[in-house]
């Protein structure tokens, strides 16, 4: 994939609304340049969720819980709902971030299933510029679609947040052992697997596996597998598979159990997801 020049990326953001309370209905994304120090945000608090990756420039992060981290290209910052935090921009004219924002209710659902980690507001990914075409695609779509077609954009924004905070698709930064663990957890989604079984295949103890996985992937092995299962469900539904078939192929005992888990992950039922997707195409 040809890399995009950072210099060619203009400041461009879009703000949309998907309904409900303001803190739950916001949907926004964009490339944001902050060349001056006065564009820092000190003791800042928002009622919704936002996540950005720094593509260029440097700065600092700190929050009300005592977390402090220097920021540079590859830093991923989660702006957690109602948490007082600060991001200081170093005024060298190079600060460029890409961000996604969505409602608190969506964040709460993702956090409840261990997909977004409240305890890690700052992380890092390798080679964030490789993801720029994905960012551009979402921004272009959000700038052009009518309100009734925003639901797929909301799901794309969630996937970008998960990709940034979990390093999905960026396994070059993982140890060979944890890259293998991810591979094993992504297989055979139609059956329940034992984490002890995965540890045995890696030739390490269960406790060593569990702790090493959380340390590198920043989430539990169960949460990682569940995220992959729900992502697969979304793709199958968009391809026209019936809800009952998706539930069966992903190992759920019945459509009700699947639908309940899907709603926790996506914020709507599988049927609503299908209807909204069909309206957008």
User: What pLDDT, on the 0 to 100 scale, is given for residue 168?
Assistant: 42
Tokens of 33: 């340049």
- Closest listed residue to residue 107, CA positions, set 79, 131, 85: 79
- In the chain, pLDDT over 70 holds for what percent of residues? 93
pTM: 0.64
User: What pLDDT, on the 0 to 100 scale, is given for residue 172?
Assistant: 43
Cα distance between residue 68 and residue 60, in whole Å: 7
Cα distance between residue 102 and residue 80, in whole Å: 11
Q: Output 276 or 19, whichever has higher pLDDT.
A: 19
Q: Output 235 or 34, whichever has higher pLDDT.
A: 34
**pLDDT confidence of 95, banded at 50, 70, 90?**
very high
What CATH number matches the domain at 9-166, 2.40.30.200, 2.60.120.280, 1.20.1050.40, 3.40.50.1240? 2.60.120.280
Range list for CATH 1.10.10.60 in the chain: 174-280
How confident is the prediction for the chain on average, in pLDDT?
86
Q: Where are the beta strands (DSSP E) in 103-200?
A: 122-124
- Closest listed residue to residue 233, CA positions, set 254, 220, 249: 249
Backbone torsions φ then ψ of 191, nearest 5 degrees: -130, 155
In the three-class reduction of DSSP (H, G, I as helix; E, B as strand; rest coil), residue 259 is classed as helix
Instruction: Give the CATH fold of the 174-280 domain.
Output: Arc Repressor Mutant, subunit A (1.10.10)
Range list for CATH 2.60.120.280 in the chain: 9-166
**Of 26-40, 91-105, 117-131, which range is least confident?**
117-131
User: What pLDDT, on the 0 to 100 scale, is given for residue 77?
Assistant: 95
User: What pLDDT, on the 0 to 100 scale, is given for residue 278?
Assistant: 67
Residue 200 CB contacts under 8 Å (≥ 6 apart), including other chains: none
Q: Integer distance in angstroms from the first to the last C-alpha of the chain?
A: 27
The pLDDT of 144-158, averaged and rounded, is 88
């Amino acid at each position: 994939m040809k890399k995009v020049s950072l210099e060619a990326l203009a400041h461009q953001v879009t703000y949309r609304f998907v309904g409900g309370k303001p803190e739950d209905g916001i949907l926004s994304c964009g490339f944001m340049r902050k060349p001056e120090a006065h564009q820092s945000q000190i003791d800042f608090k928002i009622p919704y969720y936002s996540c950005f990756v720094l593509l260029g420039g440097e700065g600092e992060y700190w929050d009300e819980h005592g977390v402090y981290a220097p920021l540079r290209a590859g830093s991923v910052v989660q702006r957690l709902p109602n948490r007082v935090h600060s991001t200081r921009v170093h005024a060298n004219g190079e600060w460029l971030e890409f961000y996604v924002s969505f409602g608190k209710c969506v964040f709460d659902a993702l956090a409840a299933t261990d997909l977004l980690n409240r305890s890690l507001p700052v992380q890092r990914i390798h080679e964030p510029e490789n993801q720029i075409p994905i960012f551009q695609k979402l921004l272009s779509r959000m700038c052009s679609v009518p309100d009734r077609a925003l639901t797929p954009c909301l799901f794309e924004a969630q996937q970008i947040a998960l990709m940034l905070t979990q390093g999905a698709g960026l396994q070059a930064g993982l140890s060979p052992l944890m890259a293998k663990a991810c591979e094993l957890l992504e297989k055979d989604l139609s059956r329940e697997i034992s984490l002890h079984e995965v540890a045995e295949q890696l030739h390490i103890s269960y406790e060593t596996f569990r702790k090493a996985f959380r340390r590198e992937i920043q989430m539990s092995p169960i949460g990682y597998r569940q995220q992959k299962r729900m992502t697969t469900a979304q793709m199958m539904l968009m391809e026209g598979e019936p809800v009952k078939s998706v539930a069966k192929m992903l190992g759920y005992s019945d459509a009700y159990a699947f639908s309940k888990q899907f709603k926790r992950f996506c914020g709507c039922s599988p049927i609503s997801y299908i209807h909204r997707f069909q309206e957008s195409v």
